[in-house]
A and B are shown apart, each in its own frame.
Chain A
Amino acid sequence: MASESSSINGGFIVPAKFIKNNMLIIILLLELIMGVILSPVFLGNTNVQSILINTAIFGLLAVGQSLVMLVKEIDLSVGAMMAFSPIAAIALAKKILSASGTEIIMGSNYVVDGLFIIVVLVLLVSALIGMLNGIIIVKAKVPSLIVTLGMLYVLSGMSYILSGGYSLYLTNLKGAKSLGSSIFAGIPVNFILFLAVGVLVILVLKYTKVGNRIYSTGGNEKAAIYSGINTDFWKVMAFGISGLSAGIAALIYSSRLQSVETIQGSGYELISIAIAVIGGITLEGGRGKISGAIIASAILCIMLNILSLVGLIAWYKTIIIGLIIIGAASQHAFSRKTS
């Protein structure tokens, strides 16, 4: 394709097109070079580890958010989900296990037992609440912005009620550390998990009919319905996966910090939307690639890391994130116009 267009339009088109198609990777490389130049500790082991873990957490949220945006909806509840799902899971596990005589919370707030059941419950709770979002949206035909905003209030309030506002510590819970800090072949396990989830989603979208269904649901819902696609089902699925990925992100976050905080993840929903937009996924639905969102999560995390290393205060970071969102969104708006 590229050589064909070059023979017609002259050699100049090829690099321009190449740059346009690989914009995200080029930005990522430029960032890496900049990081190396600006800070001597950028390539240090601990710094790389922390970048990878942040990328895993934000990336997981962004993959879920991207799927939701592909079906032309939006999910504002992912941040609150990151606090609610582990807190609710621990509360549920406590109820279930205390029936069989095992007490999983020692002292006032040290979790000591029941890791397996807690992990399963986190995944279950997050997926179910995600699907609940989807079901309300498709059944009542109300805008996802409002439903998930309402859910944000509900979940963050519920996390406070269930935890009483106190942190739950996982330091005495055997095995709770492993997801957050174990390393396989020099790469954090959680980052490998994130890549595995990302690759799985990409492959499913590419090689099964699921991809076609999701993209047509977001691209032209009416046409999709007429061609026999159950758009409601795919929307519910997208929200379910978004919730589930927030649950996995919560597991990584809590495992890394060895605690469950009531405010963890607050505000992350906006970052996940930002990453999806940088990755080329639009709010108009049906466009964009998950791989873009995965690279974009690395771009954003590395950029935030560089800004910290050069000693910029958090306030400037929020300004820069905002400018990037506007810039990324306008760039897509322009490319849409020209194409």
Chain B
Amino acid sequence: MISNGLDDDNFKKGILKNHTFILFIILACVMIIGSIFVPSLAQKGNLLNVLRLASIVGLAAIGATMVLLVGEIDLSIGSIMSLSLVTGGLMVGYGSLPALAVTCLTGIVLGIINGVLVTKLKINSLMVTLGTMSVFAGLANVVTRGQSIFLYDSPLYLSLGRGYIAGIPVPVIIFLFVGIVLSIMLRYTKTGKEIYFTGANKRAAWVSGINTDKIKLIAYSISGLTAALAGPLLSSQTNRITPIQGVGFELSAIAVAVLGGTSLIGGKGTVIGTILGALTFQLLLNVLTLSGVGTYMEQVLKGFLLIVIVVVYQVIDKPRR
């Protein structure tokens, strides 16, 4: 948003270069073409399912977006999800609320650990989070000794992933709430502007008095929190918490963020883009599932589309560089 629609004269040109707009078109096309070929796509139950799954991956992707916006990367999202889930899972005996609170708290703490390592030790964030990804994944297994924690006695915990409020799945409400809050923060608060400046030009941001370390720390803790939030939504679908719940989730989250138009270099991207990205991602997967191409073909197409869309964005952006 910050880089688009600045001048009204070029509005028409601008809108063609707006990632959010393009994504919206893609989403609409997938929806229309999909429902022509696969009639069951447009059924209410199926769409709600798509929304629910999109919310889970989207939540983690919003965190990935925040970190990408400040010009860093977080590969530990999946492991944060696993570790915070199992530490929260240890508290399940005391009730759902303590379990959820511990889950979220663990997520924030793990995010802060990432942030401190990146900002204080000044190590490349790809390396730091590659390392913490391994550490957190190992710890998650150590905590539960590789066992699963079952959730049959925790109705509140389970309702997070399965419940409805006014006909809308709970994950969707949580997702939209987090998305709107962070969207407003990015757009209208000082911290939001500082996040964009830090990612766009770190040195300039630092010179103009922005505490870039603090901003990065905030981004990483948000990423930790959203990863931890996505965890219970996912594990309540399957009734249990496993220490390998989040394996590979970081890649989906980053893929969704990039799909939503977030730049890997920093300073460019929006939460709304990421929300649309999550919807597109999940809808595509759903179309593929329903049309019966098989799980493996889905994976191939997922990878292929990721490359194609990044290339398309790059072509659109070229004149501006």
Contact = CB atoms under 8 A, between A and B. Distances in A.
A107 to B, nearest CB: 23
Interface stretch (A4-12, A120-128, A143-151): A143-151
Interface in A184-225: none
Interface residues of B, number: 45
B122 A333 contact: yes
B294 A161 contact: yes
Interface in A45-74: 74
Interface stretch (B3-11, B222-230, B251-259): B251-259
B306 A326 contact: no
B131 A323 contact: yes
A325 B131 contact: yes
A156 to B, nearest CB: 6
Contacts of B314: 140-142
Given A317-B138, A319-B138, A333-B123, A154 B304 contact: yes
B264 A143 contact: yes
Interface in A138-185: 140-143, 145-147, 149-158, 160-161, 165
Secondary structure at chain B's binding surface: helix, strand, loop or mixed?
helix
B127 A161 contact: no
Contacts of A158: 296, 300
A283 interface: yes
B124 to A, nearest CB: 5
Contact of A282 (B117, B124, B294): B124
Interface residues on A, range: 35 or more
Contact of A136 (B130, B296, B299, B311): B311
B124 A325 contact: no
A109 interface: no
A146 B124 CA distance: 17
B141 A157 contact: no
Contacts of A152: 251, 303
A273 interface: yes
B264 A145 contact: yes
Nearest to B76: A322
A244 B266 CA distance: 32
A116 interface: no
A151 B124 contact: no
20 contacts: A136-B311, A140-B310, A140-B315, A142-B310, A143-B264, A145-B264, A146-B258, A147-B307, A150-B306, A152-B303, A153-B302, A153-B303, A156-B299, A157-B298, A157-B299, A160-B295, A315-B139, A323-B135, A329-B128, A333-B121
